[in-house]
Amino acid sequence: MLELILIDDLLFALVGIEGRYISIKRVHGKADVVSFQVDASMDLALQEFAKRIFPLCESYLLIDEFVESRSQFKHGLVNHAFAAALRAFLLDYQAMVAQLEHQFRLRRLSIQGLWFYCQPMTGSMQALSTVIRKVSANNYAGSAVLNLLQSQAKAMAGDSAVRSLLEKMTHSASNAYLSILERWIYEGVIDDPYDEFFIAENKSLQKESLTQDYDAKYWRQRYSLKKDIPSFLANIAGTILTTGKYLNVMRECGYNVQVPVSENSKLMTFGSNHQYLECVKAAYEFASGELLSLIKEKYDLIGKLRSIKHYLLLDQGDFLVHFMDIAREELLKKHDEISVEKLQSLLDLALRTTAAAADPCHEDLTCCVERSSVLKGLSRLKDLDIKNVSHGNDLEEPISITGLETFSLSYKIQWPLSIVISRKALTKYQLIFRFLFHCKHVERQLCGAWQMHQGVRALNSHGTAISRSSLLCRSMLRFINSLLHYLTFEVLEPNWHVMHGRLQTAKSIDEVIQHHDFFLDKCLKECLLLLPELIKKVEKLKSLCLQYAAATQWLISLSIDIPKLDEQSDGSVGSGKLKSKNPSQVQKVMTRNSAVTDSILKFEREFNAELQSLRPILSSSSQAEPYLTHLAQWILGAGNDQ
């Protein structure tokens, strides 16, 4: 009789209901800790039978309560799906209990029979209760639940039935997650109401920042990977992130692009056949190809880069020559006195009246005036790999820098080209432009000095310092021409052609960005802008050239005036000797001749000393940086060829 009563109580306990001899005990403050207890007055043998079945009862109660709690919206879609799968499983379990109860009513169920029929279900229920305890204790959601289910399934490799059940639960729970993934890789949309997806969106980062902020993080951080990634997607998480990013760019451009989806490409399950991997790969290739085609063809990326090369890398300099002529007066002012509006109107005039007018992109060109010299500007860009930065402060800023040192061109870049030609990339172009522009200015000043020397060639200059000055002017011109030749034909042109070839074969926009950034960094480095020790020497040489060019008119006028005094004294020219009878006049001429000669010799000594001081620097660095060997051949070769 007691056995029948116990069986009846156990059937109730299997669905979480207390009986006459079986009670449920809960630990205060621990909702997931529950235990079943049998009355101590029960026969000991029957108590032992009951205790064997209690773990199954406890598991049922735990699972049933989990299903109810995790069906709430706040726990997320994966927990909803997991709870739904558990509810379906409990229906099968309850059907088993109902069948046992039917057998009991027919008097066909003994306590040994009850244990026999419950035993197969015990392993599955306990495995599920283990998962549930961990989910509840850690408040898992999203990918954490999927990873836990997968790891538990792998841990049950020795029990095929339990492993099969856990894999089924994983598949059911992942359906909701894969539906989020589908929208991301097929439409570029994150539909994640409970923040479960492994891709995070930072809405505070706007695409406009790419053209305004040097350190814009839009492309790298607008969408980013979280730490919790489902283990079955871990190897392709980067591809998934990139696929949606590409589709999102096209949506931002107004194109409602959607990856073609067939029945075979639905991501509603994953398994050993890895079909979902093929779906992700196909979606990535489509998105990458479409975006690359859009940027290259509709937005003409190559044409825009070529236009920037014309203007900011001085590939076509006719407009610049005209601009430097008409804007000379404004550029000679201090940088804080310059009218940018006037410079812009002069730039527009130069563009319209030269070959640049044929370029449809010339209207995107604008001018600006920076606040500091190129070297000071470089020192503020912390991300650039500038060697020996600690020595970068040795060169003091000129007391009053003019527009010639601070003038720069800029370029209007629209979305989505700003992904490639960002504010950072444009700043690097501008640094190169400013260096080239100032070199061109030095060259023009020296050319003016050379023309002045050529203008007095017909005069007999023997006995004056004019011939010595002419040699110095030629040496300086060789230096600046060699430097410009090196920068243009040894650095910018070859690197541009390499980049252009790589862009033609690039498979994705990220490859395009990588090749473009590599080109700019390589040009900055080979143009000496990342080598403060060398660039300071070059700046010193340029400064000497400008000082000499500014003094040329004075030097030549004094040199020419000296023979004229001889002509006035006795009417003869060309003897090279002063025949004036006035001793004070002779003394005055000799003093002026000596001052001119001393000035020219001083310029010559300083220029040659600075030029030769480059040799050890270039020699010590050329093994690590081969391009410095080319620089030495051009500049030092020019300096030695008198």
SS (H, E, C) 171-217: HHHHHHHHHHHHHHHHHCCCCCCCCCCCEEECCCCCHHHHHCCCCCC
Q: Is the pLDDT of residue 274 over 90?
A: no
Do residues 376 and 513 share a domain? yes
CATH number of domain containing 487: 1.20.120.1900
Residue 338 lies in a domain: yes
Single out the residue in 80, 108, 136 at which a domain terminates. 136
First to last CA, the chain: 124
Residue 389 lies in a domain: no
* Residue scoring higher pLDDT (358 or 90): 90
Do residues 294 and 320 share a domain? no
- 26 phi/psi in degrees, rounded to 5: -115, 145
pLDDT band at 390 (very low <50, low <70, confident <90, very high): very low
Going by C-alpha positions, the residue among 561, 548, 505, 533 that lies closest to residue 617 is: 533
- Which stretches of 527-626 are DSSP H helices? 532-570, 583-621
Q: What is the pLDDT of residue 385?
A: 64
Average pLDDT over residues 249-277: 70
Do residues 435 and 307 share a domain? yes
Percentage, residues of the chain above pLDDT 70:
85
pLDDT, tens digit, 9 for 90 and up, residues 203-230 = 888 888 888 888 888 888 899 999 888 8
Average pLDDT over residues 422-445: 91
Q: Is the pLDDT of residue 494 over 50?
A: yes
Q: What is the pLDDT of residue 244?
A: 92
Q: Please state the domain count of the chain.
A: 3
In whole angstroms, give the CA distance from residue 167 to residue 128.
11
Mean pLDDT estimate for the chain = 82
Residue 608 lies in a domain: yes
Do residues 318 and 332 share a domain? yes
Do residues 276 and 128 share a domain? no
Do residues 267 and 321 share a domain? no
Average pLDDT over residues 297-320: 86
Least confident of 77-86, 122-131, 177-186, 552-561: 552-561
* Residue scoring higher pLDDT (641 or 425): 425
Q: Is the pLDDT of residue 256 over 90?
A: no
Do residues 317 and 418 share a domain? yes
pTM: 0.81
pLDDT, tens digit, 9 for 90 and up, residues 310-338 = 888 888 767 788 888 888 888 888 878 88
Q: What is the pLDDT of residue 89?
A: 93
Do residues 198 and 329 share a domain? no
Do residues 319 and 255 share a domain? no
- 527 phi/psi in degrees, rounded to 5: -85, 10
In whole angstroms, give the CA distance from residue 173 to residue 86.
10
Do residues 319 and 405 share a domain? yes
Residue 551 lies in a domain: yes
pLDDT band at 573 (very low <50, low <70, confident <90, very high): very low
Residue 181: which domain range?
Answer: 173-298
Do residues 307 and 294 share a domain? no
Going by C-alpha positions, the residue among 66, 7, 5, 2 that lies closest to residue 31 is: 66
Residue 393 lies in a domain: no
pLDDT, tens digit, 9 for 90 and up, residues 503-543 = 999 999 999 999 999 999 999 988 888 888 888 888 899 98
Least confident of 78-82, 266-270, 532-536, 569-573: 569-573
